[in-house]
Structure 1
């Protein structure tokens, strides 16, 4: 990054299309340094990154930098990435589900530590067993869990549920029982055993999917309807949906995979078999959600209160501090489905082992690059990422 000098002044700059929009608080030199990094990373769509879109906002909900670079499909030069490109959010939606849970928590409809409430609303979880392995014939073996599952466990990935693409034993189990794949959209794929004793360790997985079912049963609303009424419409996002319209499909970023030679090529999109529904547009979501966290639970654009300030503070506390410091380290391991996901980045880049809030990873200490303490971050499987630094009032 450039140091401050006479030309390095804070200067608004706006451009059209896939170029950058720079406003308010970034210096021109710093902004163009970031843009250069992005454009360099997407220069070769076959060997590097096919395309990338970045938005950065401040506490007031203002975009301080946005930039689109590269291609939606790396084999088609007529598919430029734009600021309006549609992305499959994947696990980025977990934070929206967590907000919904915490709204019900504020209303007294969720007890984060009640096992009886979970068993009443989600009786399926009262029957869950721990997968201990497989016998000589390849049949799964189980044991009855000593602990019962709570909502806090579901939100912090300590319930024991996993994803088959991260956990080899679960992938083997689903082949054994001919279960539905995770991206099929079928409810049946959730009917899996847990991988460890609930509450005793961290396994990234389907806990928040169960929390979504909890929301539907308690609110008596479909999840997309609950999101619209209680989160999206108050944020001014009136046309968002789980479903893809024809127009959205035309602007959907493609999925790619890196082959044995290192070249990147398109692969079929997981959404093709799942999200088919009414025509609805899909506006930018991330900035509106993250600005609520930066602004103590209130949308700086609509002034709607989505969460109480104390609830936001509570969500940004480490809720797995009772676990060993390296509890999340197994996510560094080689994945059983490398075509689906690489290992997570090494936690060694952080001054201390990360924690987990409700529901996102937390980096407790400030970092040398300027990131503040207790910054939230997480990712979507298709290489989406966010971070939210409340200390410095910025989110990306």
Structure 2
């Protein structure tokens, strides 16, 4: 048993995780590590193992796929990263900018704004949107309308929100990828599900293992993992979470959060992205995918935003130390410097609500992804496990490099 096997086996035995799957490889395409642990469900009478064929909700790890889909549409001449997307998405930005809230009158203070909102802004979280569950101001706005945060069936229900700042002037983590996925649908006249199947999943041979609607597909439904949760203090043992709807009533293809996929299939996708597979994008588009998108002001706003509160750091920092400068690409969060024993400079990360995470470390030549289905979101003790996984893969890559 390797060190990392032991770490996850102990986490399963302690009840921190019902199950998990880890996959890593070299950027030349070789899989260097693949291991799964524990169970896919804590439901009574269900004893399915968690494997690399278990169907998982990956939540915000959907964003990387949507960024690729948008860039494919740009290559096709159907979308333009620099054009105002309001004509494609008529409900975007219609509430203007929220500047405050009148508690006595229970009304938001809104300022009209018609600044162009581009796909570049939507994919880099500089459009002015913020998730309402992260923003107290938007939370008040929702409550004043008798609405819950991020609820409803469509992108419009969930994400037609007041903006927090003038588009292009700052950074906030929001539903830009949901809107960008909707732009793909408008531009192509098809669903994001059908577009991704034709342009991403089928070319990579993973179409039977990925969907926005796994419960409608017999081949996937029986393999779905069930979400579990730790207690209110975030302590084990985890228990089944039958009432938690990870889509909060969503029925649209949610480009920021809606894909269900197996660890093996998602890792095939991350591997293809890491080695810049021509099945997905042209070289110039991969350059755009990985390029830091933030100017100096936006980058400072990102770093301030991640450090704004413990919950922001937990959800967004990926356990990257505060001392390491961060930027943002269409792919995800960029660590501009390396961290000794863990990753090299320019490594890109992102994760998802059920404490899932991926990384691409091109300077070291490795990628990896860790899957589980456990709440609360991005639980610190689980992310600590994933960091140990990353460190082990880094150490293995360095050792192999020194021996070759």
Shorter-normalised TM range: 0.7 to 0.9
CA contact (8 A) 2:94 2:160 kept: no
Superposed CA RMSD in Å reads: 2.9
Structure 1 partner of 2:124: 156
Structure 1 partner of 2:353: 381
Residue by residue over 1:88-117, the C-alpha shift from the partner in whole angstroms, topping out at 9 and shown as x without a partner, is 0111111111001111222333222222xx
Select 1:265's aligned residue among 239, 243, 254.
239
CA contact (8 A) 2:101 2:140 kept: no
**What is the deviation of 1:286?**
1.7
Of 344-353 and 156-165, the range deviating more from structure 2: 344-353
Aligned pairs (5 A) from 1:239-388: 239=208, 240-245=210-215, 248-261=220-233, 262-263=235-236, 264-267=238-241, 268-271=243-246, 274=250, 283=262, 284-298=264-278, 305-323=279-297, 325-328=299-302, 329-334=304-309, 343-345=315-317, 349=321, 352-388=324-360
Residue by residue over 1:16-45, the C-alpha shift from the partner in whole angstroms, topping out at 9 and shown as x without a partner, is xxxxxxxxxxxxxxx812212222222211
Instruction: Measure the CA separation in 2 of the matches of 1:81 and 1:190.
Output: 33
Structure 2 partner of 1:226: 195
Cα gap change, 1:345 to 1:40, in 2 (>3 Å): farther
Indicate the structure (1 or 2) with the bigger Cα radius of gyration.
1
Instruction: Measure the CA separation in 2 of the matches of 1:346 and 1:227.
Output: 27
Cα gap change, 1:231 to 1:161, in 2 (>3 Å): same
The 3-state SS of whatever aligns with 1:80 is: coil
Cα gap change, 1:219 to 1:58, in 2 (>3 Å): same
Aligned pairs (5 A) from 1:27-38: 32-38=2-8
Instruction: Measure the CA separation in 1 of the matches of 2:8 and 2:329.
Output: 29
The 3-state SS of whatever aligns with 1:292 is: helix
Aligned pairs (5 A) from 1:1-396: 32-45=2-15, 48-74=16-42, 78-115=47-84, 118-125=85-92, 127-135=94-102, 136-145=104-113, 147-179=115-147, 181-182=149-150, 184-187=152-155, 188-239=157-208, 240-245=210-215, 248-261=220-233, 262-263=235-236, 264-267=238-241, 268-271=243-246, 274=250, 283=262, 284-298=264-278, 305-323=279-297, 325-328=299-302, 329-334=304-309, 343-345=315-317, 349=321, 352-396=324-368
Residue by residue over 1:278-331, the C-alpha shift from the partner in whole angstroms, topping out at 9 and shown as x without a partner, is xxx955332222122222233xxxxxx210112112221110133254422324
Gaps of 5+ in 2: 254-259, 369-404
The 3-state SS of whatever aligns with 2:211 is: coil
Cα gap change, 1:127 to 1:271, in 2 (>3 Å): closer
When normalised by structure 1's length, the TM-score is 0.79
Gaps of 5+ in 1: 1-30, 299-304
CA contact (8 A) 2:93 2:163 kept: no
- If each structure's helix is expressed as a fraction of its own residues, which one has the higher value? 2
CA contact (8 A) 2:55 2:223 kept: yes
CA contact (8 A) 2:121 2:167 kept: yes
Of 229-238 and 65-74, the range deviating more from structure 2: 65-74
Residue by residue over 1:34-79, the C-alpha shift from the partner in whole angstroms, topping out at 9 and shown as x without a partner, is 212222222211xx23322111122243321111112333465824
Instruction: Count the aligned residue pairs.
Output: 350
CA contact (8 A) 2:57 2:261 kept: no
Instruction: Measure the CA separation in 2 of the matches of 1:110 and 1:138.
Output: 40
Residue by residue over 1:343-365, the C-alpha shift from the partner in whole angstroms, topping out at 9 and shown as x without a partner, is 44477616532110013111122
Cα gap change, 1:274 to 1:149, in 2 (>3 Å): closer
